[in-house]
Structure 1
Amino acid sequence: MENKERIRAAFAWENSYLHPVCAALFTNQRQIADTDWMKRCKGILEEHTGAFSGFRGIAKLSMISYLALDGSPERRMQKALLVYEAMKEHFFSSQYLSVASMMISGMAEKDRYEEIARRTRRIYDLMRKEHPFLTSSEDSVFAALLALSEKSDEEVIRETEDCYRLLKEQFSTGNALQSLSHALALGEGTAKEKCERTIRLYDLLKEKGCKYGTSYELATLGVLALLPAKLETIAEDVAETDAFLAKQKGYGFFGFSRKQRLMHAGLIVASDYIGENVELKMGAAAVGGTIALIVAQQTAICAAVVAVSAAASNSSSSS
């Protein structure tokens, strides 16, 4: 809550939906947001990018947060631009590609950028083959995170599709379910096991009066289901955290909706279980166990950032 309020006060003009999401990034690292430092990082971002750069889109505040969390923001910015250049060989420029580049720059070494960019395109094409009308430019972010997996491209897509198929009767088909499937695909266990845990957790929360949102919030539900703990314990933790947030500034009648508040509670609980070092220098290491869970958590955060960006873009287009 302290991080959210600090960020809101310092970056009041940025999209308010990103304030708690960026607060979660700092909380994941057990840090209190230094907004003066964030403003310096904003200067670094603007120094290295043009006025119409995707790095300065609606997701700009998340970019600033990633830079501020890095011990060397100048170097991180340069690395993100290198990833972006590699990605542009395979995708058109977009704000979603910028988000993917910033995240990858903190989770892989330079010698893997080209490989990850190529693999991102292959996975994206396989995603589009399965869902030609559902897959669009924002899915490049999820494809990039899936490209970090040690599983083959075909295995990643098969896992995603198995999860999508098993969950589509419980949740409405669409982008939200696809994002949830991406998060689950990164976790350990069979698709059936992961989907059963997700549905059971959804039902447990509902029994506690916490009906989880089925829009972009779903990806966080998937991360919670992947946590190595009893589902009853997770549900209790989320319900208690939600009750706490309900009494905090910004979550009243004119604040975030109950579904958004519940997602924020989920982000906090996931962070508590996963611990620090969200951005591991993965290098060539296999994405297994805790690392896979961390990447899944980043996928959930990505889903929130992408949803805000997509909504803003659609609103701009319609107006």
Structure 2
Amino acid sequence: MNQAMKSRCELFVQNRNEIRSRFGWESSYMYPLSASIFTGRNMPVNIERMEECKKLLMQETGPFSNFRGISRLAIISLLAADADPERRLKNSLRAYGELKNEFYSSPYLPVTAIITADMVQPEEYSEVARRTRRIYDLMKKEHPLLTSGEDSSMAVLLALSNKDERLAVEEMEESYKVLREHFFSGNAVQSLSHVLTLGEGTPGAKCRKSIELFEKLKSAGCRYGTGYELPTLGILALLDAGTEQIASEAAEVNDYLKTQKGFGAFGIGAKQRVMYAGMLVADEHMTGETKALNTAAISGTISIIAAQEAALLAAIAASTAAASASSGASD
């Protein structure tokens, strides 16, 4: 592992440990997700700033707001990593209001609102919300049983990418059919097809790279999850690097994380660990001009946001499943 990657891994583990030590009683799946928000920006976590943003969130939202739900810690982290958290929250709440005109409230809608507020000006929120709904409806038409609230977040990324709505959904469906022959979870495959549609290239080429990468990771001792974790595989497939290199780097990072407390057999689990190993590799490749928000780099920027978004959806889904299992056991 080169020094830059090692430093990134050390920062990720340090951020995760600090957040976990000061924000108890959160889902274990949310700590590494929140850590990755800071690490992706090459920032050490600032706990005091997180506490301030927690107070800000409590002041600006009601007790039953979805902003205070399962994704709360990630939202606090996103605010704390921003230069102007008050403005970001204000704009996110405004975007949320527009989205609620088009969608039922859900734990995923605040995330969709934050993405909208990040990418466009307030006067555009209403049109983005309507375009997101149109794309969502096209998704729902193709897969009425699979499409649900979590897909609104990927729909907004497609709405922001300015891709033709029908062509984008047609590409998703083409990718879905190819991927479904290799992976069994229909919902996860659908989400992976959404991520791949955000990138450049033909559906066939992107699907082939995803499948090849999955197999190379498995050969390297990194069995990638085929459930909630699968969409983040698409981020790795969109990197401008070969599958051999990506798999090798992810295996090195996974081996490092495995030795760290909270990432071993009794931590978040092997599948989630491999997912975060992949995200750290993606962060290392998506640097410099790729992260600049301009016309030339718009696809790269959306891919970066999609990486965090896919991980956040995985963390929310896993946390919800864990909470439901715990509730069922206590009944």
TM-score by length of 2: 0.90
Q: CA deviation at 1:280?
A: 5.9
Match of 1:300 among 299, 310, 331: 310
Q: Structure 1 residues 296 and 30 mapped into 2: Cα distance closer, same or farther (>3 Å)?
A: same
Q: CA deviation at 1:260?
A: 1.2
Unaligned runs of 5+ in 2: 1-12
Measured in 1, the distance between the counterparts of 2:119 and 2:311 equals: 15
Measured in 2, the distance between the counterparts of 1:207 and 1:64 equals: 38
Q: Structure 1 residues 306 and 79 mapped into 2: Cα distance closer, same or farther (>3 Å)?
A: same
Measured in 1, the distance between the counterparts of 2:291 and 2:249 equals: 24
> Between Structure 1 and Structure 2, how many residues are aligned?
317
Helix, strand or coil for the counterpart of 1:106? helix
What do residues 172-209 of structure 1 show as CA deviations (whole Å, max 9, x unaligned)? Answer: 14221111111111011000000000000111111112
Match of 1:170 among 154, 179, 182: 182
Q: CA deviation at 1:156?
A: 1.5
Percent identity over paired residues? 47
Measured in 2, the distance between the counterparts of 1:147 and 1:161 equals: 17
Q: CA deviation at 1:267?
A: 1.0
Greater mean deviation of Cα atoms: 12-21 or 192-201: 12-21
Letter paired with 1:52: F
Query: For residue 321 of structure 2, what is the aligned residue in structure 1?
Result: 311
What do residues 31-71 of structure 1 show as CA deviations (whole Å, max 9, x unaligned)? Answer: 00101100100111110000000100011001101101111
Q: CA deviation at 1:252?
A: 2.4
Measured in 1, the distance between the counterparts of 2:290 and 2:30 equals: 18
Match of 2:272 among 260, 280, 293: 260
Measured in 1, the distance between the counterparts of 2:102 and 2:319 equals: 21
Question: Per chain length, whose mean CA-contact separation is higher, i.e. which structure has more relative contact order (CA < 8 Å, sep 6+)?
Answer: 1
Measured in 2, the distance between the counterparts of 1:243 and 1:312 equals: 26
Query: For residue 80 of structure 1, what is the aligned residue in structure 2?
Result: 92
Q: Is residue 150–residue 287 contact of structure 1 (8 Å, CA) maintained in 2?
A: no
Q: CA deviation at 1:220?
A: 1.3
TM-score by length of 1: 0.93
Query: For residue 227 of structure 1, what is the aligned residue in structure 2?
Result: 239
Q: Structure 1 residues 63 and 274 mapped into 2: Cα distance closer, same or farther (>3 Å)?
A: same
Measured in 2, the distance between the counterparts of 1:12 and 1:248 equals: 19
Query: For residue 183 of structure 1, what is the aligned residue in structure 2?
Result: 195
Measured in 1, the distance between the counterparts of 2:290 and 2:111 equals: 16
Alpha-carbon RMSD across the aligned residues, in angstroms, is 2.0
Unaligned runs of 5+ in 1: none
